[in-house]
């Protein structure tokens, strides 16, 4: 299918084979409404990584993620961004997703090329891979940059749609969503994951609902398994994908054939009521609601002292509020939140009151 766009026409809802720069250069200038790009992250992993149970992590070690230096990665980034900028309409916008390995290079290149950053958005993963060796923090998020083509671009932003998606509260710059797994994950003929870094549809759903209109043309220069195309088709947007790996193209085409455009009623999303958020006891210390060194007391008048990392000490015992409570009672377990009290103005107050305060703030 093609669409007349000014004097030229666009190869809509197709995957363009080969290098994305060549593919974008073949399109007319100022013809695209939105670009979503998931470029290589330049991970540069060294050796194999094993889980504590000795299973090996299936790492992203594909040739397409290998660059010889930051400088080589920058050159690559600036080249594809230049081609991307040419095909964008003056009021068009771009999203790029990445991790700390590459996102700072991408952000700098975007600003240097004249794009105007509108927000950086954090995708908080509900189920990230842990840090198996305990040497760093769990890498639990990825970063997306949303930018207009120019400082003055009149970008599309469906404020009320996103507010509705967020239970009537203005959508924030941090999005909590699970990684792509289960039925949603595309498999090859052996049942293995067909693409190492398939993005969840929920992420693209939010991007496209929030920053495109029905009938808009969305370009994805690194199409991969085709999540952008699948969600675009479902939401009644047109897409153009670029991909140089034939096996990914095969997977994406099979996937796209399965996708049906949603009717209006199906588009209405139902939000599940989220459970009460977990509040670590240490947060009461960090936030100064309890001082390190402060004394807590249980119903029998036994005392424990708070430490800077949110653990307690009582007699010879050390551990979490739950562990120390259980040990003092000789019980297998204990709810520390209701077990311990602190003192304010001569009154004993259960520490759970403080947790409730934090939860109230989080809402």
Burial class (CB in 10 A: 0-12, 13-18, 19+), 150: middle
**Pair 164, 209: CB distance under 8 Å:** no
Q: What residue spans of 212-320 are helical by DSSP H?
A: 227-234, 246-258, 264-267, 282-286
Q: Least CB distance from residue 307 to a second copy, whole Å? A: 5
Burial class (CB in 10 A: 0-12, 13-18, 19+), 281: buried
Eight-state DSSP code of residue 65: G
Tokens for 239, please give them.
Answer: 């897409």
- Binding of residue 333 to a second copy (CB under 8 A): yes
Residues touching a second copy: how many (CB under 8 A)?
A: 103
- Binding of residue 275 to a second copy (CB under 8 A): no
**Pair 327, 345: CB distance under 8 Å:** no
- Binding of residue 117 to DNA (CB under 7 A): yes
Among the listed residues 81, 285, 304, 314, the single contact to a second copy using CB under 8 A? 285
Residue (219 or 314) nearer to a second copy, CB: 314
Burial class (CB in 10 A: 0-12, 13-18, 19+), 206: buried
Q: Which residues from 186-245 bind DNA, rule CB under 7 A? A: 193, 196-198
Binding segment (CB under 8 A) for a second copy, from list 13-21, 60-68, 95-103, 191-199: 95-103
Binding segment (CB under 8 A) for a second copy, from list 4-12, 25-33, 84-92, 142-150: 142-150
Please choose which of DNA, a second copy, none residue 228 contacts, taking the beta carbon within 5 to 8 angstroms, the exact cut-off set by kind.
Answer: none
**Pair 130, 138: CB distance under 8 Å:** yes
Residue (90 or 292) nearer to a second copy, CB: 292
Please list, residue by residue across 326-357, b when 16 or more beta carbons sit within 10 angstroms of its beta carbon and e when fewer do: bbbeeeeebebbebbbbeeeeeeeebbebbee
Q: Least CB distance from residue 316 to a second copy, whole Å? A: 11
Single out the residue of 356, 177, 178, 174 nearest to residue 279, CA to CA: 356
Q: Least CB distance from residue 315 to DNA, whole Å? A: 18
Eight-state DSSP code of residue 242: E
Q: What residue spans of 17-133 are helical by DSSP H?
A: 20-25, 70-87, 103-113
Binding segment (CB under 8 A) for a second copy, from list 27-35, 81-89, 300-308, 345-353: 300-308
Q: Least CB distance from residue 11 to DNA, whole Å? A: 24
Among the listed residues 19, 30, 82, 116, the single contact to DNA using CB under 7 A? 116
Distance CA 211, CA 218 (A): 10
Binding pattern for the stretch 275-314 against DNA, x by CB under 7 A and - elsewhere: -x-xxxx---------------------------------
Q: Which residues from 22-41 bind DNA, rule CB under 7 A? A: 38-41
- Binding of residue 53 to DNA (CB under 7 A): yes
- Binding of residue 135 to DNA (CB under 7 A): yes
Binding segment (CB under 7 A) for DNA, from list 77-85, 122-130, 212-220, 288-296: 122-130
Q: Which residues from 153-172 bind a second copy, rule CB under 8 A? A: 157-159, 161-162, 164-172
Among the listed residues 86, 141, 185, 244, the single contact to a second copy using CB under 8 A? 141
Distance CA 110, CA 159 (A): 24
């Amino acid at each position: 299918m093609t669409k007349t766009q000014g004097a030229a026409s666009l190869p809509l809802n197709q995957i363009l084979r080969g290098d994305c720069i060549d593919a974008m250069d073949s399109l007319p200038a100022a013809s695209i409404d939105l670009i979503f790009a998931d470029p290589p992250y330049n991970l540069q992993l060294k050796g194999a990584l094993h889980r504590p149970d000795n299973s090996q992590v299936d790492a992203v070690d594909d040739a397409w993620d290998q660059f010889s230096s930051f400088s080589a990665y920058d050159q690559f980034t600036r080249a594809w961004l230049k081609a991307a900028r040419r095909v964008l309409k003056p009021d068009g916008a771009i999203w790029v997703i990445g991790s700390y390995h590459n996102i700072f290079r991408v952000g700098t290149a975007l600003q240097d090329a004249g794009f105007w950053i509108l927000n950086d958005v954090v995708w908080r993963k509900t189920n990230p891979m842990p840090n198996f060796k305990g040497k760093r923090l769990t890498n639990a998020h990825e970063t997306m940059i949303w930018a207009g083509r120019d400082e003055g671009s009149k970008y599309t932003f469906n404020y009320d749609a996103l507010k509705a998606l967020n239970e009537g509260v203005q959508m924030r710059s941090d999005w909590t969503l699970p990684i792509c797994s289960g039925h949603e994950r595309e498999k090859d003929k052996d049942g293995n994951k067909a693409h190492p870094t398939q993005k969840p549809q929920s992420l693209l759903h939010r991007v496209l609902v929030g920053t495109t209109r029905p009938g808009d043309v969305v370009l994805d220069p690194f199409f991969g398994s085709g999540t952008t195309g699948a969600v675009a088709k479902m939401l009644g947007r047109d897409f153009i994908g670029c991909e140089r790996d034939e096996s990914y193209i095969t997977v994406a085409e099979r996937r796209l054939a399965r996708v049906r455009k949603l009717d209006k009623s199906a588009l209405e999303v139902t939000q599940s009521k989220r459970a009460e958020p977990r509040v670590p006891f240490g947060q009461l210390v960090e936030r100064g609601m309890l001082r390190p060194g402060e004394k807590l007391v249980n119903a029998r008048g036994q005392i424990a002292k708070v430490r800077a990392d949110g653990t307690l000490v009582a007699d010879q015992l050390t551990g979490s509020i739950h562990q120390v409570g259980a040990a003092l009672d000789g019980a297998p377990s204990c709810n520390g939140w209701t077990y311990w009290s602190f003192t304010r103005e001569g009154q004993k107050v259960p520490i759970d009151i403080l947790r409730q305060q934090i939860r109230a703030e989080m809402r």
